[in-house]
Amino acid sequence: MSEPKEETLHRVRNYVTKYCAKTGLTTHSMPEVTDAVVAGLANHIDTLGKPLCPCRFYPDKAEEIKSRTWLCPCEDMKKYKYCHCMLFVNEDGMPVTEHLPEGHEGIATYGVTKDPAPEKYNPPK
């Protein structure tokens, strides 16, 4: 992976800060986790033009961009406040799972973790 531009890193960090305020979540307590996800998002912006989630494997990144499912914030984040990358987490460093539908992999992996700011949750319509 090539190094992202400093300007793009700054833009992504700024976005992450604003999105945390909007959702009432925080970034991972281990700075290296946050830095790796931010760098991956910035790299995808520089190389693909879009913030494609860096935590997944894509046989065809161009097709994934068209579907928009894994553009940050991904569909699970927008619908359920659940971040696969663990970039946006609760105060315990866990992804929020309480809004996920029954049977979702996040509940199986982490159990039910509470949303620290349920008033900032907009359920899917």
Give the pTM. 0.93
Q: What was the pLDDT predicted at 125?
A: 79
Q: Provide the pLDDT confidence category of residue 90 given band limits of 50, 70 and 90.
A: very high
CA contacts within 13 A on the Cβ side of 106: 22
74 assigned to active site: no
Of 20, 55, 72, 85, the active-site residue reads: 55
Q: Which fold does the domain 6-119 belong to in CATH? A: Ferredoxin Thioredoxin Reductase (3.90.460)
* Furthest CA-CA distance within the chain: 41
What is the residue extent of each domain of the chain? Answer: 6-119
Q: At 110, is the secondary structure helix, strand, or coil?
A: helix
Q: Provide the pLDDT confidence category of residue 1 given band limits of 50, 70 and 90.
A: low
CA distances from 83 to 5, 20, 55, 119 (A): 24, 12, 10, 18
- Computed over every residue of the chain, the mean pLDDT equals 95
In the predicted structure, residue 64 carries a pLDDT above the cut 80: yes
